[in-house]
Amino acid sequence: MRAEGRSGLLMGAPYALFLLAFAAYPVFFALALVFMRWDLVTEPSFAGADNIRLLAVDARFWRAVANTFVFLAIHLPLQIATALTLALALNRPLVFRAFWRAAFFLPVVISGAVVAILWNALYATDVGLINTVLAKVGVSPIPWLTDPSLAMPAIAVMVTWKNVGFYVVIYLAGLQYIPRSCQEAIELDGATAWQRFRHLTLPLLLPQTILVVTLSTINGFQLFIEPYVMTGGGPLRRTFSVVLYMYTNAFSYQKMGYAATIGVALALIIGAVVAIQRRIIGTAEAT
């Protein structure tokens, strides 16, 4: 037994050291940075609550938070609706089921940077694929990414397209647990397809829906590469995201204390939003 303990310590030690350096230390140092002013060149100095005070009234930060809510308001319903529809279609007896699933999943394996550059080309006002298709049916070019009210919805649609395959797989897994006998019994009772969906399938898929909502919300708050590549946060800051602002503060302004404060605030906001969402979905289910 003593030999086993020694082996265990030796084999667990590298990971323990790694956790201390790259997980525990950054969490504590993030909290310390909130109270510091540091440009990475001169010595860090104590800033008291300056960063927190600044954040509370920083219009650019709150603009980015508001933008994220605009994004989520479009992205969440769209993501759930498309993922659920595709999953229900795939759950029927199908020829080439693996092919269909693989087609929907393809954008998930592609780098976000590539998807952003590709959709830049799809959304391009003059030569973009989408406007070219629309021109065929007589629609004049739409400035997808340069119109302040269209840019964020356009990005929300793109992110939905990129991630939907992932959520289809989650819903498919859930659908497999709905017993056929349940379906047949309710069918015998004369329920229509819609009634079956509304009162049987949808409630039974609640755990999957909660997962989809949680993961897409977290993902939405991490929005970075899309605005970075496609709009630079514009037009009129309407696609400016929280992570983009954090990155700008750290990388361009060298304000480590303030950037870390944004990070801590973002983590708290994500936690609060996810908790509230779960509450709402939970009560909606109970009624």
Stretch that binds another protein, among 49-57, 68-76, 125-133, 179-187 (CB under 8 A): 125-133
> Is residue 21 near another protein by the rule CB under 8 A?
yes
Nearer to another protein, 153 or 227 (CB): 227
In contact, 167 and 177? CB cutoff 8 Å: no
Q: Which is nearer to another protein, 10 or 286 (CB)?
A: 10
46: enclosing H helix or E strand: strand 45-46
Q: How far is the CB of 203 from another protein (least distance, A)?
A: 21
Task: Tell me if 128 contacts another protein by CB under 8 A.
Answer: yes
15 binds another protein (CB under 8 A): yes
At 108, the amino acid letter reads V
Determine contact, residues 202/73, Cβ cutoff 8 Å.
no
- Collapse the DSSP code of 37 into the 3-class scheme (helix H, G, I; strand E, B; otherwise coil) and give the result: strand
Single-letter amino acid, residue 126: D
Closer to another protein at the Cβ: 178 or 247?
247
Region of 24-32, 48-56, 64-72, 275-283 interacting with another protein (CB under 8 A): 24-32
Can residue 276 be called a binding residue for another protein (CB under 8 A)? no
**Choice between 118 and 191, CB closer to another protein:** 118
Q: Which two tokens stand for residue 5?
A: 């303990």
Enumerate residues 236-255 that contact another protein by CB under 8 A.
Answer: 242-243, 246-247, 250-251
Rounded Cα distance between 175 and 24, Å, is 39
Minimal distance, residue 130 CB to another protein, in Å: 10
Residues 220, 81: Cα–Cα separation, whole Å = 17
Q: How far apart are CA 226 and CA 213, in angstroms?
A: 20
Q: Is 188 a residue that touches another protein (CB under 8 A)? A: no
Binding piece for another protein, criterion CB under 8 A, among 25-33, 57-65, 174-182, 196-204: 25-33
Compute the distance between CA of residue 103 and CA of residue 110 in angstroms, rounded to an integer: 12
Look up tokens 């983590």; give the residue. 267
133 binds another protein (CB under 8 A): yes
Which of residues 178 and 219 has its CB atom nearest to another protein in the complex? Answer: 219
Cα gap 112→225, rounded to integer Å: 7
Q: Is 33 in the site for another protein (CB under 8 A)?
A: yes
Interface positions, 213-232, toward another protein (CB under 8 A)? 215, 218, 221-222, 224-225, 228-229
Q: Least distance in Å: CB of 286 to another protein?
A: 25
Please state, in angstroms and as integers, the Cα–Cα distance from residue 250 to each residue in 55, 247, 260, following that order: 15, 5, 8
- Which CB, 97 or 149, lies closer to another protein? 97
Q: By CB under 8 A, is residue 166 in contact with another protein?
A: yes
SS3 283: helix
Q: List the interface residues with another protein, window 94-123 (CB under 8 A).
A: 94, 98-114, 117-122
Distance CA 287, CA 282 (A): 9
> Taking CB under 8 A as the rule, does residue 8 contact another protein?
yes
Q: Which tokens belong to 61?
A: 């930060």
256 binds another protein (CB under 8 A): yes
- Among 212, 203, 137, CA closest to 171: 212
